[in-house]
């Protein structure tokens, strides 16, 4: 497990893992299992239906535990489709850290597609982090297409945080969250594309239950000749509150398309969306230069802050 330098670096980048993780974990490497550990409260097992992937079962009342399930690809030419199902009991409070790192030095594409399905029990809180990272000098593309589906039962909540900073040539992300009564979904998305990279993010948050709340905060930077498309949708089916906020900084010859949509099927639904695309404001650069930063440092500082 974690035997090469590349493995260790990838794992640190995507899951902040140094050394063996504490608690439950499953490390997937080059389509095989490179280490797994269940705990008293969190059980990780191969899928019952024989498809590639794992089932993760978290017992009722599990509080303060973390589950790491990183995926790394270190060989060129690997293409995989993985199904992971999470069954989270009632009254839990847990952290789940996923993420995928690709190191591709070959000339064939490396590709990871995943479908994560979460069933979050009553009054449970889940923080879910997913980082994507790619590196390598080969001509082969680094491709990731993550799909996430979340069912939130009464009073449940998920804070989903996705980060993809450079390195991934092509990504298409699909996220769907269905909120029950008094459930809450908060999704923060951070994305930076460069060169000829392409990224698309489709999101649908369905506020089904009374008193449910949804919030999407998406910030992205598009550089070089890259292209980004955002399609966040919020649907309100009862007394609920939803807010979608998309902000993009566009640079060089990049293209950004942002198409937020809000749909109300109830007079009690309150939905708001804001979307903005623009270059770095000249005044911001000038202000930082008056504090002694060079124009390059000022730009970096603004981008880092924006994506923090």
Pattern of binders to another protein over 224-253, x per CB under 8 A? -----------------------x------
Comparing CA positions, the residue from 125, 43, 23, 123 lying closest to residue 86 is: 43
Query: Does residue 272 touch another protein according to CB under 8 A?
Result: no
What would the two tokens of residue 37 be?
Answer: 């550990």
Checking phi first, is residue 160 left (phi over 0); if not, alpha (psi -120 to 50) or beta? beta
Comparing CB distances to another protein, the nearer of 77 and 295 is 295
For another protein, which residue of 219, 231, 263, 273 counts as binding (CB under 8 A)?
219
Nearby residues of 307 by Cβ (< 8 Å), 6 or more positions away: 165, 190, 192, 219, 221
At closest approach, how far in Å is the CB of 250 from another protein?
A: 14
Max Cα distance, the chain (Å): 62
Q: Is 240 helix (H, G, I), strand (E, B) or coil?
A: strand
Q: Measured from the CB atom, is 48 or 308 closer to another protein?
A: 308
Ramachandran angles phi, psi of 15, nearest 5°: -135, 10
Nearer to another protein, 264 or 301 (CB): 301
273 counts as binding another protein under rule CB under 8 A: no
Shortest reach from residue 308's CB to another protein, in Å: 5
CA distances from 156 to 26, 124, 161, 229 (A): 25, 5, 17, 30
Residue 10 to residue 7: CA distance in whole angstroms: 5
State the DSSP H helix or E strand holding residue 305, giving kind and residue range, or none if neither.
helix 295-307
Nearest approach in angstroms of CB 287 to another protein is 5
From the CB of 305, what's the least distance to another protein, in Å?
4
Residues numbered 109 to 168 that lie near another protein (CB under 8 A) are: none
Closest CB 299 distance from another protein, rounded Å: 12
In the chain, % helix, strand, coil (3-state, to 5) comes to 10, 55, 35
CB-nearer residue toward another protein: 50 or 282:
282
Find the shortest distance in angstroms from Cβ 307 to another protein: 7
Compute how many other C-beta atoms are within 10 angstroms of the C-beta atom of residue 188: 16
Q: Is the CB of 8 or the CB of 166 nearer to another protein?
A: 166
The single residue among 19, 32, 50, 305 that binds another protein, judged by CB under 8 A, is: 305
Between residues 139 and 287, which has the closer beta carbon with respect to another protein? 287
Q: Decide: is 302 part of the binding site for another protein (CB under 8 A).
A: yes
Q: Which tokens go with 149?
A: 């589906």
CB 115 within 8 A of CB 83: yes
Closest approach of another protein to the CB of residue 302, in Å: 7
Distances (CA, A) of 27 to 7, 14, 65: 10, 12, 17
Q: Which of 48, 49, 137, 308 binds another protein (CB under 8 A)?
A: 308
Over the window 278 to 297, marking each residue x when it contacts another protein by CB under 8 A and - when it does not, the resulting string is: ---x-xx-xxxxxxxxxx--
Contacting residues toward another protein, per CB under 8 A: 219, 247, 281, 283-284, 286-295, 301-302, 304-308
């Amino acid at each position: 497990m974690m035997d090469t330098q590349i493995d260790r670096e990838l794992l640190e980048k995507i899951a902040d893992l140094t050394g063996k993780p504490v608690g439950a974990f499953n490390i997937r490497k080059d389509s095989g299992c490179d280490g797994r550990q269940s705990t008293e409260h969190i059980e990780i097992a191969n899928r019952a239906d024989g498809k590639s992937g794992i089932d993760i079962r978290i017992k009722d009342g599990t509080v303060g535990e973390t589950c790491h399930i990183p995926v790394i690809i270190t060989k060129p030419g690997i293409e995989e489709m993985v199904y992971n199902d999470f069954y989270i009991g009632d009254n839990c409070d847990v952290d789940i850290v996923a993420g995928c790192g690709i190191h591709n030095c070959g000339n064939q594409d490396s590709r990871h597609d995943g479908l994560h399905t979460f069933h979050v029990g009553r009054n449970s809180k889940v923080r879910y982090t997913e980082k994507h990272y790619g590196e390598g000098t080969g001509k082969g593309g680094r491709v990731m297409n993550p799909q996430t589906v979340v069912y939130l039962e009464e009073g449940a909540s998920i804070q989903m945080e996705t980060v993809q900073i450079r390195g991934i040539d092509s990504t298409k992300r699909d996220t769907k969250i269905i909120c029950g009564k008094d459930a809450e979904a908060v999704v923060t998305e951070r994305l930076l594309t460069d060169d000829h990279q392409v990224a698309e993010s489709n999101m649908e948050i369905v506020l089904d239950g009374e008193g449910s709340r949804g919030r999407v905060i998406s910030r992205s930077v598009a550089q070089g000749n890259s292209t980004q498309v955002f399609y966040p949708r919020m649907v309100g089916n009862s007394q609920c509150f939803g807010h979608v906020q998309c902000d993009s900084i566009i640079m060089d010859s990049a293209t950004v398309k942002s198409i937020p949509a809000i749909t109300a099927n109830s007079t009690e639904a309150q939905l708001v969306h804001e979307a903005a695309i623009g270059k770095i404001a000249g005044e911001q650069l000038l202000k930082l230069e008056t504090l002694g930063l060079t124009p390059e440092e000022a730009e970096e500082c603004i981008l880092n802050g924006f994506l923090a």
